[in-house]
Amino acid sequence: MAATHENEATDKGSSTLYPSVSQDDLMAQASKHLVNFGTKFSPDIIVGAKGLYVYTASGRRILDWTSGQMACLLGHGHPEIVATIAAHAAQLDHLFSGMLSPPVVSLASRLCSLLPPSLDKAFFLSTGGESNEAAIKMAKVYTGRFEIVGVGGSWHGVTASALSSQYHFGRRGQGPLMPGTLMLPPPNAYRSPFRRSDGEYDWEAELDYGWKMVDHASCGSLAACIVECIQSSAGMHVLPHGYLKALKKHCEKRGMLLIVDEAQTGVGRCGSFMASTDYEGVVPDILTLSKTLGNGIPLSAVVTSEEIERICAERDFCFYTTHVNDPLPAAVGDKVLEIVVRDNLVQHAKEMGEVLHAGLQRLKDRFGCIGDVRGRGLMAGVEIVANRETKEPEFDVARRVSDRSYALGVWANLGTHVSFGGTFRIAPPITITKSELEEGLALLEEAFASTEGTLPLI
């Protein structure tokens, strides 16, 4: 069923903190005082967020299909999360970093109990970049080496080692990055030149080639490899089945640690609690979490084995921050895990993911500009092309479909950086219902149908 009218908010007053603000005045102040940190701002001022929707100053209600910055796993303003924040803000918010509190211990215990036995030690930071920075430092301290292998198209953060180990965006304009950073080819099944005789993606040959290049470039001090199970920022590219196991073997062969960054894939988003351990059957040496763990509150985690933690402690590993193991965000993370397990949301995400991907495949069958649909669970990428045979990106059509979707009332992030190839990133909260999914799919369908250049097939 297609939507038939522009989206309007019907309950704006009850869903916003700022029911009467001037969009133009705030935009003028933003232009004057806010730093451009590497992105264009949305044309609307957002004055409220509730459930699966955000509300604009102009009175519109927008279906949020990116969970904020892919983080609001349970949706905006979840009542149990709100109650947890309020209680801890009032009575147990922030402590000296060496002090322990019940929510920190509870979160560590609950998280480790949900992971394989060899992931049994955790500590908590604020952002994904921080957690990856800490994991990389831990790998260097444990191995006594310094070279870090990343994967083309990856995104791990903007702190020094995390940024140096990713190959997507933000590396320019600052002089030398961290020494000893090496890159494997991006595992892009849609565009990789590594093909078998039948045209299928030959990821094994590509991976072996990449490690051969790493071995040539290495100075003999390989410490770790860091990887995402789904490269969201590169356009929702899923690691081929078996890739992670092969990567682990390459690391073991060279005496390296494997760091898996599950910032977006962890805590049920992909229809498995962890994409690495549940779906791929691979237990990383160090696991990092962020985004989904805090449901939008700044919270990240580094989880590793007792052996790695012991050796690092003996060698004076230090990652002491103002907000390490803070009680308020830890309480939120603990509550998120409680809700995900209690409400069987991992299975729900798997089932709703099937609805989402079936709907997106129907759109691909109808519109020739959709070159590829990919993802897993409630993570999906829709890549827009000018021609399915040549796979030439079509950024203009993608932008116009994006604008039209937003006008109709659904927000799906469009990446137009060259490493995206013009791909919509879709990652709604895992509490989404079938009817809410169908609502968003109908709005997307109308956006494609009412945009010139989408190459209708039927």
Task: Measure the CA–CA gap between 277 and 281, rounded to whole angstroms.
Answer: 5
Where residue 128 falls among pLDDT bands split at 50, 70, 90? very high
- CATH code for the domain in which residue 281 is found: 3.40.640.10
Residue where a domain stops, chosen among 288, 312, 342: 342
Instruction: State the average pLDDT for the chain.
Output: 93
Same domain flag for 55 and 96: no
Say whether pLDDT at 2 is over 70: no
β-pair type (379-387, 370-376): antiparallel
Give the pLDDT of residue 1: 36
Tokens of 8: 């309007």
Residue 280 shares a structural domain with residue 198? yes
The helix-helix angle for 203-217 and 243-253 (nearest 10°) equals 30
pLDDT value of position 175: 87
Domain-located, residue 382:
no
70 in a domain, yes or no?
no
Sorting pLDDT into bands at 50, 70 and 90, what band is 413?
A: confident
Average pLDDT over residues 38-42: 81
Residues 52 and 148 in one domain: no
Whether the Cβ atoms of residue 404 and residue 450 lie closer than 8 Å to each other: yes
Integer Cα distance of 316 and 104 in angstroms: 22
Please give the pLDDT value at position 360. 98
Is pLDDT of 343 > 70? yes
Claim to verify: residue 93 and residue 47 sit in the same structural domain: no
Q: What is the pLDDT of residues 146-178, one digit of tens each?
A: 999 999 999 999 998 999 999 888 888 888 999
As a whole-number percent, the residues of the chain with pLDDT over 90 amount to 83
| Separation between Cα atoms, residue 76 and residue 49, nearest integer Å | 6
Same domain? 179 vs 146: yes
For residues 153 and 14, state if they share a domain. no
Of 301, 334, 427, 268, nearest to 80 by C-alpha is 334
The pLDDT value given to residue 3: 38
Q: How far apart are CA 124 and CA 197, in angstroms?
A: 47
The answer as to whether 51 is a domain residue is yes
Residue 34 inside a domain? The answer is yes
Domain's final residue, options 307, 326, 342: 342
Whether 115 and 230 share a structural domain: yes
Q: Mean of the pLDDT values across residues 333-360?
A: 98
Question: 101 and 242 in one domain?
Answer: yes
Cα-Cα-Cα-Cα dihedral of 279, 282, 286, 291, to 10°? -10
Nearest-5° Cα angle at 222, 221 to 225: 160
Regarding whether 49 and 91 lie in a shared domain, the answer is no
Q: What is the pLDDT of residues 59-112, one digit of tens each?
A: 999 999 999 999 999 999 999 999 999 999 999 999 999 999 999 999 999 999
Q: What angle do CA 60, 63, 68 make, to 5 degrees?
A: 105
Give 416's pLDDT tier (boundaries 50, 70, 90): low
Here the tokens at position 292 are 């989904």
Strands (E), 218-299: 222-228, 230-231, 237-238, 257-261, 286-289
Which two structure tokens, joined as six digits, stand for 38? 């590497």
Q: Is residue 430 domain-resident?
A: no
Confidence of residue 411 (pLDDT cuts 50, 70, 90): very high
Q: Which amino acid is residue 187, in one-letter code? A: P
Per-residue pLDDT, 172? 86
Phi and psi at residue 15, to the nearest 5°: -120, 10
Residues recognised as catalytic: 155, 228, 261, 264, 291, 425
Task: State the Cα–Cα distance between residues 51 and 55, nearest whole angstrom.
Answer: 11
Q: Can you say whether the dihedral through the CA atoms of 110, 50, 377, 388 is positive or negative?
A: negative
- Residues 6 or more apart whose CB falls under 8 angstroms from that of 243 comprise 187, 203, 207, 280
Residue 39 half-sphere exposure toward CB, CA atoms < 13 A? 7
Q: Do 13 and 145 sit in the same domain of this protein?
A: no
Q: Does 173 map to a domain? A: yes
- Residue 14 has a pLDDT of 52
Confidence band, pLDDT 50/70/90 cuts, at residue 281: confident
Assess whether pLDDT exceeds 70 at residue 19: yes
Quick one: pLDDT at residue 12?
Answer: 47
pLDDT tens string 239-271: 999 999 999 999 999 999 999 999 999 999 999
**41 and 90 fall within a common domain:** no
- Number of folded domains that form the chain: 2
Token pair belonging to 430:
């895992």
- Asked if residue 455 is part of any domain, the answer here is no
| Domain-terminating residue out of 342, 361, 388 | 342
Q: Tell me the H-state helices in 315-344.
A: 327-342
What is the pLDDT confidence band of residue 417, given thresholds at 50, 70 and 90? low
b/e burial code for range 121-135 (CB count within 10 A of at least 16 → b): bbbbbbbbbbbbbbb
Residue 396 counted as domain residue? no
User: What distances in angstroms separate CA 380 from CA 68, 254, 432, one per listed residue?
Assistant: 15, 34, 14
The answer on 283 and 146 residing in a single domain is: yes
Say which amino acid occupies 330.
Answer: A
User: Residue 29 sits in which domain range?
Assistant: 1-64
More confident residue, 160 or 38: 160
